[in-house]
C-alpha cells in the first residue's frame, strides 16, 4: 500500500474520531515530503508508520502473571484463556467488533491494515528473523468483540515470555509495541517474591521502558497479592519488587499491587482481607482511570510526535547537507578522474590509429550517426556516474553507521536511487527546509491549542454541558 493510500484510509477513520487529527495528518504529509527530499525516507516510507491511530494499551509480562485474567475482568468477557502455564504464544490484539461473541482473526488481518500498530510488521520480522516474515500468523492474532469497555481503543496482550528463551522477532515486536503504545502495563507475579527468578525478563522490559522518552506511560503491576495473605507480608513483597526495579535504575511512582477476587485464595483473617481489598480497589481504580483516558492522551501524543519529528529534522538537515556536499565533492572528483582518463585514452588511440581517425571523421559528417554516438556516450557516462556515486555513498555510509545511523541510511537511499544530488547541495536548501520545519512545529502547537479547547476553558466563557 502506497503512502497516499495509507493517508487516505486513516483520514477517513479520523474524520469520525477526531477531525483535528485530520489537519495533523496533512502536516505529516508535508513532513514526509521533506523526509523524501532529504533521503531520510524511502519513497514508499512515511513518518506515520510508527503511529497507532487508535489509542493503544499494551499488557506485557511473563506467563502466569494474570495478564489474561486482568483483560477478561476488564472487558467482562472471557476473551483470553488463562492458566498457570503459558497458554498462548502469540501477541493478541483485541478491539471492538460487531458481534457479542469473541471473533478470532489471523495475524494477516493486522499486517495488511494501516490503522493497526502491526501494519507491515512482517517486513520487520524478516529483518531480525529471516524467513519468518511469511509466518506472521504464528506471531499475531486479532480478536474482536462488542464491548463498550474496548470501544475506541486497542488492547494488546503479549505472550508470556522469558527474554532468554524467545526469538529475536518476539523481542523486536515487544519493543515495537512499547514505543507505539499510549499506556503500557507490565505485570509481575507476587507468588515469586524473589525478583531474581525473572531477572532476564525484568532486564529487558525495564530497560526498554527506561529508554522511552515518556516513561510516565509505563505502569508496573504486581499481581496476585492475595498470595501474601498467609504470611501477611504484602509490604515485604512489594518492597522486594520496588528495590529490584530501583536496581535497574527505575525510580517511578507508577507501581501498583492488585489481585483478582474471583480467582483469589480464601483469606481467613478478616483484617488482612480488608487491607488487601482496600489496596487492590484503590490501585485498580487508578489503573482503570488511566486506561479510560487513553483516548485523550493519544491525540496529544500524535501531535507531540509531529512536533518532535520536525524538531529532530531541524537539527538533522544542516548536517545532512554537509554530508551530501562531501558526497558530491567526492563524486565530482571521481567523475573528473574517470572521464578524464577515458577521454585521454580515446585521444591517444585516435592519435595513434588512422583507422579510428577516419571512423570518427565519418561519424561527424553524418548528423544521425553523430547524434546516436553522442547519445550512447552520454548514457554510458550517466550509468558510470551513478555506479560511482553508489559505490562512494555506500563506502561513506559504512563509516557513518557507527556515529549517525540516519545519515548513513540517507546515504544508502542515494546510493541505490537516481535522485539528483544537486538539489540537496545548493545554497539555501538547508535554510528552506529549516523554515518549513519551523512552520510545522508552530502548526503542531496550534493543534495542541485546538485540542485544549475541547477540554478546557480557563476564562470560564464556555458553558458547562451536563448529561
Residue 409 falls inside a structural domain: yes
Question: Domain count of the chain?
Answer: 2
Reported in sequence order, the residue ranges of 190-249 that DSSP labels E, i.e. its strands, are: 218-223
Instruction: Name the domain boundary from 231, 262, 292.
Output: 292
Same domain, 252 and 362: no
More confident residue, 74 or 117: 74
Q: What is the pLDDT of residue 435?
A: 93
> Does a structural domain hold residue 463?
no
Same structural domain, 24 and 73: no
If asked whether residues 142 and 233 sit together in one domain, one would say yes
Q: For residues 64 and 87, give the distance between their C-alpha atoms in angstroms, rounded to a whole number.
A: 9
Q: Helix H segments across 353-366?
A: 354-365
Model confidence band, residue 202 (pLDDT cutoffs 50, 70, 90): low
pLDDT confidence band for 165 (50 / 70 / 90): very low
Evaluate whether residue 380 is within a structural domain.
yes
| C-alpha cell recorded at residue 203 | 532486564
Distance CA 344, CA 5 (A): 52
Please give the pLDDT value at position 163: 44
- Same domain? For 278 and 145 the reply is yes
- Residue 241 and residue 250 in contact, taking contact as beta carbons nearer than 8 Å: no
Query: The CATH number of the domain where 152 resides is what?
Result: 3.40.50.300
* Residues 442 and 328 reside in one and the same domain: yes
Same domain, 27 and 112: no
Residues 354 and 235 in one domain: no
- Res 164: pLDDT: 46
pLDDT of residue 208: 67
Write out the residue range of the structural domain in which residue 75 sits: 52-292
Kindly report the number of other CB atoms within 10 A of residue 140's CB atom.
24
Residue 201: per-residue pLDDT: 60
Q: Does 301 fall in a domain?
A: no
**What cell was used for 170?**
518476539
Q: Report the alpha-carbon distance of residue 320 to residue 451 in Å, rounded.
A: 34
Cβ distance 42 to 413 under 8 Å?
yes
Is the whole-model pTM more than 0.75?
no
367 versus 184: which is more confidently predicted?
A: 184
pLDDT digit string, tens, across residues 246-276: 776 666 668 898 988 877 777 778 888 888 8
Look over the chain and give the mean of its residue pLDDT values, rounded to a whole number. Answer: 79
User: Is the pLDDT score of 333 beyond 90?
Assistant: yes
Write the CB contacts of 115 (distance below 8 Å, at least 6 apart in sequence).
9, 10, 13, 53, 54
Q: Rounded CA gap, 287 and 78, in Å?
A: 20
Give percent helix, percent strand, percent coil of the chain, each to the nearest 5. Answer: 60, 10, 30
Give buried/exposed letters for 172-199 (b at 16+ CB in 10 A, else e): ebbbbbbbbbbbbbbbbbbbbbebeebe
Are residue 327 and residue 283 in the same domain, yes or no? no
Place of cell 500498530: 117
Contacts for 87 with CB less than 8 Å, ≥ 6 apart? 63, 68, 81, 160
Q: Is it the case that residue 100 has pLDDT exceeding 50?
A: yes
For the segment 373-394, the average pLDDT, to the nearest whole number, is 86
Helix, strand, or coil (residue 101): coil
Asked if residue 332 and residue 315 are part of one domain, the reply reads yes
Look at residue 172 and tell me whether its pLDDT is greater than 80: no
Domain co-membership, 109 together with 170: yes
pLDDT for 162 beyond 60: no
Q: Name the 3-class secondary structure at 123.
A: helix
Task: Choose among 99, 96, 52, 92: nearest CA to 68.
Answer: 92
- Is residue 357 in a domain? yes
- Residues 256, 312: one domain? no
Average pLDDT over residues 329-334: 92
Q: Considering the domain boundaries, does residue 91 fall inside one? A: yes
240 & 115 share domain? yes
pLDDT for res 287: 94
| 465 domain-assigned | no
Does 298 reside within a domain? no
176 and 140 in contact (C-beta within 8 Å)?
no
Q: pLDDT, tens digit, for every residue of 279-302?
A: 999 999 999 999 988 888 888 888
Cell of 409: 541510511
Look at residue 439 and tell me whether its pLDDT is greater than 90.
yes
Q: Mean of the pLDDT values across residues 85-114?
A: 81
Residue 336's CB is within 10 A of a number of other CB atoms, namely: 10
| Span 395-417, pLDDT tens digits | 998 888 878 888 888 888 877 77
Q: Quote the pLDDT of residue 30.
A: 93
Tally of CA atoms within 13 A in the half-sphere of 55 that contains its CB: 21
Q: How far apart are CA 61 and CA 161, in angstroms?
A: 7
* Per-residue pLDDT, 211: 61
Q: Is 15 helix (H, G, I), strand (E, B) or coil?
A: helix
Amino acid at each position: 500500500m502506497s503512502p497516499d493510500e495509507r493517508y487516505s484510509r486513516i483520514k477517513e477513520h479520523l474524520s469520525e474520531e477526531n477531525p483535528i487529527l485530520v489537519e495533523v495528518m496533512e502536516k505529516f504529509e508535508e513532513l514526509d515530503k521533506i523526509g523524501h527530499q532529504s533521503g531520510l525516507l524511502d519513497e514508499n516510507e512515511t513518518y506515520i508508520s510508527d503511529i497507532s491511530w487508535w489509542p493503544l494499551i499494551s499488557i506485557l509480562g511473563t506467563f502466569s502473571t494474570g495478564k489474561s485474567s486482568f483483560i477478561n475482568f476488564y472487558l467482562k468477557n472471557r476473551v483470553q484463556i488463562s492458566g498457570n502455564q503459558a497458554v498462548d504464544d502469540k501477541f493478541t490484539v483485541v478491539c471492538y467488533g460487531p458481534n457479542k461473541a469473541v471473533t478470532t482473526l489471523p495475524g494477516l488481518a493486522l499486517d495488511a491494515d494501516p490503522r493497526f500498530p502491526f501494519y507491515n510488521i512482517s517486513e520487520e520480522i524478516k529483518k531480525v528473523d529471516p524467513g519468518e516474515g511469511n509466518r506472521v500468523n504464528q506471531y499475531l492474532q486479532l480478536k474482536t468483540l462488542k464491548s463498550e469497555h474496548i470501544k475506541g481503543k486497542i488492547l494488546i496482550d503479549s505472550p508470556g515470555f522469558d527474554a532468554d528463551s524467545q526469538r529475536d522477532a518476539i523481542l523486536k515486536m515487544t519493543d515495537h509495541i512499547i514505543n507505539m503504545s499510549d499506556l503500557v502495563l507490565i505485570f509481575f507475579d507476587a507468588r515469586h517474591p524473589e525478583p531474581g527468578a525473572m531477572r532476564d525478563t525484568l532486564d529487558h522490559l525495564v530497560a526498554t521502558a527506561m529508554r522511552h522518552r515518556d516513561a510516565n506511560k509505563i505502569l508496573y503491576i504486581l499481581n496476585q497479592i492475595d498470595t501474601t495473605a498467609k504470611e501477611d507480608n504484602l509490604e515485604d513483597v512489594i518492597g522486594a519488587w520496588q528495590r529490584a526495579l530501583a536496581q535497574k535504575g527505575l525510580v517511578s511512582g507508577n507501581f501498583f499491587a492488585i489481585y483478582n477476587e474471583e480467582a483469589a485464595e480464601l483469606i481467613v483473617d478478616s483484617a488482612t482481607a480488608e487491607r488487601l481489598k482496600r489496596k487492590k480497589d484503590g490501585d485498580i481504580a487508578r489503573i482503570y482511570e488511566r486506561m479510560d483516558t487513553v483516548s485523550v492522551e493519544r491525540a496529544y501524543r500524535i501531535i507531540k510526535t509531529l512536533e518532535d519529528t520536525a524538531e529532530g529534522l531541524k537539527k538533522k538537515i544542516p548536517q545532512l547537507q554537509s554530508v551530501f556536499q562531501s558526497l558530491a565533492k567526492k563524486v565530482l572528483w571521481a567523475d573528473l578522474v574517470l572521464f578524464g582518463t577515458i577521454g585521454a585514452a580515446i585521444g591517444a588511440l585516435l592519435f595513434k590509429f588512422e583507422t579510428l581517425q577516419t571512423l570518427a571523421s565519418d561519424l561527424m559528417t553524418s548528423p544521425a550517426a553523430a547524434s546516436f554516438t553522442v547519445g550512447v556516450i552520454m548514457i554510458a557516462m550517466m550509468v558510470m556516474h551513478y555506479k560511482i556515486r553508489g559505490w562512494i555513498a555506500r563506502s561513506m555510509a559504512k563509516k557513518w553507521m557507527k556515529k549517525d545511523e540516519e545519515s548513513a541510511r540517507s546515504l544508502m537511499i542515494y546510493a541505490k536511487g537516481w535522485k539528483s544530488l544537486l538539489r540537496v547541495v545548493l545554497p539555501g536548501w538547508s535554510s528552506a527546509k529549516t523554515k518549513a520545519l519551523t512552520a510545522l512545529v508552530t502548526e503542531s502547537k496550534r493543534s495542541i491549542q485546538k485540542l485544549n479547547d475541547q477540554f478546557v476553558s480557563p476564562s470560564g466563557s464556555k458553558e458547562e454541558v451536563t448529561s
